[in-house]
Chains A and B, each alone.
Chain A
Amino acid sequence: MADYRSFEHDVLVIGAGGAGLRAAIEAASTGLSVGLVCKSLLGKAHTVMAEGGVAAALANVDDRDGWRVHFADTMRGGQYLNHPRMAELHAKEAPDRVRELEAWGALFDRTQDGRILQRNFGGHKYPRLAHVGDRTGLEMIRTLQDHGIHQGIDVHMECTVFRLLKDGDRVSGAFGYEREKGRFLVFKAKAIVLATGGIGRAFQITSNSWEYTGDGHSLAYHAGAELLDMEFVQFHPTGMVWPPSVRGILVTEGVRGEGGVLKNSEGRRFMFDDIPELYRNQTADNEDEGWRYTQGDRDARRPPELLTRDHVARCIVRELREGRGSPHGGVFLDIAWIKEHLSDSEAHIKRKLPSMYHQFKELAGIDITKEPMEVGPTTHYVMGGIRVDGNSQMSTVPGLYAAGECAAGLHGANRLGGNSLSDLLVFGKRAGEYAASFAREEGAVSIDEDQVEAAAKDALEPFEREGAGDDNAYHIQHDLQMMMQAKVGIVRNQGDMEEAVAGIAELRERAGRIAVHGNREYNPGWHTALDLGNLLTVSEAVARAGLQRTESRGAHFREDHPEKSEELAKFNHVLAKAPDGTMTVRREPLQPQTDEQKAIIEEMK
């Protein structure tokens, strides 16, 4: 018999970033008992790293904005693979969710007349991102945390969930372990919300923290839930490229929103060279107009640096491939140049982009108020994820919900900057609300001891094995990251992705031989070995879905199929675990748009 501690909650939320905290707060507000599990200490989750802002059509800066424009921008950015109902709810509800944060103590930057200030961002027609300098995520998670700790939520810090438990078709709980002592935990719950974030650690160059190992995706998939559109992984165009050890750390899009420009080694603003058809009418055709846009000129169109992330990242890759990169293999991002227009540019940059100033000064020895940064693409976000119902956020497993980055649907083929912070508020709240009503209506569940025993046995297996040479979880994770970066990265083709699928199978075999040394107390070697299983599952999903999408759309670029396909524009990809344990990918028609949604999209084209 495995030794474990038991907990029982009406609703269990797994993950305590923005989405998880928001879900837990909502579920707790209904009076139910709520547990919140986080891999790290409370308040350290990945949301803390979000920089630029939260997108909400408050119309504080430009009164032409409204939910319809935000909806149309989100759909266009996602190349219309988005779940239209989610995109509509998101655009409609984001302003209330932002105002609610203010009522809980958040202090956003202000307009002259004392309202919440909004800034420009890629793909958003009007200034739409409520922000706090360039540390918006910290403000949001701290607000949710400081509010959440007074709502009667039981927080289980530094615990990792290893497997979901089921009672028949329905989810009934979770099996996990305390990172600190290594003791096992069993949570019994009537409903579960997954809010575990993304998968960035599957790649070598990423802006994501260690926690982003695709846990929620993998837990849901192995519990029988479907995943959606896993081929769409966002490579943020601007990560640090030098020094090598900080490669991948995010450089906020806010730099470009504040007037920063991209240049190649010839000093040319290469973003003017390729402006996609969908955005031609909205994009400036000269440098002066672009500058005026960033300074709030309502008649100017946005500079091409503020095109969507997928496009900007590909343009940077083009410059690199054609030999016009910067000395350390990136391109130049220049905000210092605004001194030509602003006399107090140095103070302005430090006020608007304090973390960026700090980050480059301390990690690269660069003063961004005086010299350009070197930047290149970095793995940032996964648009794909757990398939959910557009209203309730319930997955295809009864009682299992998902919100935030680990859920799919809102962003389609490419996410607009700022839409993730609003996503986690809007759908975190919804998931918490619907999970609570499910828990109330559906009644008790029971825990199957056999499932618990099996999970405990699997979790401890690495300790039982004899040492297998010098291979360990860190090496396998490293090899996976190198392979995914090279073969399933920004530019893809069939051969590479097929090799990746085969490579993942080999890595899985190696992972099955890992022997862990030491004891169960705070043993990162063991934790890494267990997380590795999740990374392998999500990596396989990305590669398999990528193989099926024989076109280039949004973040998914195939050099062997560089054009969009009209046929594939009609489908999402659904991934599921077959009875024999293999991963299947099938096409399903897009969620239909309502007549009103169609009319809005047409009108805003």
Chain B
Amino acid sequence: MAQRSFEVWRGDESGGELRDYKTDVTEGMVLLDAIHQIQAESANDLAVRWNCKAGKCGSCSAEINGQPRLMCMTRMSDLPEDQPVTVEPVRAFPSLSDLVTDVRWNFEVKQRIKPFKPRKPDAEDGTWRMQQADVDRVQEFRKCIECFLCQDVCHVLREHHKHEEFIGPRFLVYAAALEMHPLDEEDRLGELRGDQGIGYCNITKCCTKVCPEHITITDNAIIPLKERVVDRYYDPIRWLLSLFRK
């Protein structure tokens, strides 16, 4: 057992600071355990969101030594021992209290995306047939645990605050899962190009790097969606043909 030092951000929307804490760290411990220990020992009111502590719910997102990660999946032994561990809230969203941020914007964005609209059942038993190969791609997107780390690291949101004009990588993945769903018949390309701002993404792939579910966000979701948008709206031959149709 060894004592480790932590610098944990304490504060709210009006501001805050890093405060020093110490606690004992045992073998195999993850950062969330250390935070809980600090909470029980010396900071009863330290605010932190968490649920499953198993990397499945995506609640405990934070910036750990500056890196966006899940606290429950960050082993203490992977963090350098010669310096205090800094723990800060995700910075792309307003602070509420200590490590808890206001992520409501994400829920509002999801509401704006047109829901799933399946084609009519076409199998005899009133359901559908789908091959595993056809659902594999979408299953990758549906692994998303909505931790919003990709939103946190996306410079369009984090640096440029384009929350009004851009839905961020999480919801491009969500839109991709719907658009590529074998049964879906809805058309979302107009909004993706318009107020959902897919054009803002300049494929720096920062989102892919931080995804704890290892979803290939940029290559498998965003780029194919961009291609669909380009095919529809910027293909010169299609544009010419559309003139004749009028």
Which A residues are within 8 Å of any B CB, using their own CB? 40-46, 48-49, 99, 102-105, 107, 109-110, 113-115, 132-133, 135, 137-139, 142, 146-147, 149-150, 157, 180, 209-211, 242-246, 249-250, 355, 358-359, 362-364, 472-475, 478, 516-519, 521-526
Seed contacts A209-B57, A249-B54; 11 additional CB < 8 Å A-B pairs: A40-B59, A99-B127, A102-B127, A105-B183, A113-B129, A142-B142, A245-B26, A364-B28, A516-B45, A523-B45, A524-B39
Residue on A with the closest CB to B131? Answer: A114
In the complex, chain B residues 42-71 whose Cβ is within 8 Å of any chain A Cβ: 44-59
| A residues less than 8 Å from B138 (CB atoms) | 107
| B residues less than 8 Å from A43 (CB atoms) | 146
Rounded to whole angstroms, the CA-CA distance of A132 and B143 in the bound complex is 10
Shortest CB distance A553–B (Å): 31
B181 within 8 A of A: yes
Please list 21 pairs of residues, one from A and one from B, whose beta carbons are closer than 8 Å in the complex, sorted by A's number.
A40-B51, A43-B146, A45-B51, A48-B145, A103-B121, A115-B127, A146-B116, A147-B116, A150-B111, A150-B115, A209-B57, A244-B26, A246-B53, A355-B56, A472-B44, A478-B40, A518-B44, A521-B47, A522-B97, A523-B47, A526-B45
In the A-B complex, the 3 residue pairs with the closest CB atoms: A243-B28, A114-B129, A518-B45
Once A42-B107, A49-B56 are accepted as A-B contacts, the answer to whether A525 and B28 lie under 8 Å apart by CB is no
Which DSSP category, helix, strand, loop or mixed, fits chain B's interface? loop
The listed residue (B47, B54, B135, B184) touching A49 by CB distance below 8 A is: B54
Residue on A with the closest CB to B129? Answer: A114
Rounded to whole angstroms, the CA-CA distance of A517 and B28 in the bound complex is 31
Residue on A with the closest CB to B59? Answer: A44
Which B residues are within 8 Å of any A CB, using their own CB? 12, 26-30, 33, 39-40, 44-59, 73, 75, 96-98, 100, 103-104, 107, 110-111, 115-116, 118, 121, 127-132, 135, 138-139, 142-146, 178, 181, 183-184
Rounded to whole angstroms, the CA-CA distance of A363 and B135 in the bound complex is 29
| B residues less than 8 Å from A132 (CB atoms) | 139, 142
Shortest CB distance A150–B (Å): 5
| A residues less than 8 Å from B143 (CB atoms) | 135, 138
Q: Are A102 and B128 in touch, CB under 8 angstroms?
A: yes
Shortest CB distance B59–A (Å): 5
| A residues less than 8 Å from B129 (CB atoms) | 113-115
Rounded to whole angstroms, the CA-CA distance of A526 and B118 in the bound complex is 46
Q: Are B28 and A242 in touch, CB under 8 angstroms?
A: yes
Residue on A with the closest CB to B113? Answer: A146
Q: Are B96 and A250 in touch, CB under 8 angstroms?
A: no
Q: Are A245 and B131 in touch, CB under 8 angstroms?
A: no
Shortest CB distance B206–A (Å): 21
| B residues less than 8 Å from A355 (CB atoms) | 56
Q: Are A524 and B130 in touch, CB under 8 angstroms?
A: no
Q: Are A521 and B52 in touch, CB under 8 angstroms?
A: no
| A residues less than 8 Å from B128 (CB atoms) | 102, 114
Shortest CB distance B189–A (Å): 19
The listed residue (B26, B44, B131) touching A517 by CB distance below 8 A is: B44
| A residues less than 8 Å from B33 (CB atoms) | 245
Q: Specify which of A99, A362, A518, A524 lies most central, judged by the most chain B CB atoms within 10 Å of its CB.
A: A524
Q: Are B30 and A522 in touch, CB under 8 angstroms?
A: no
Q: Are A48 and B45 in touch, CB under 8 angstroms?
A: no
| A residues less than 8 Å from B146 (CB atoms) | 43-44
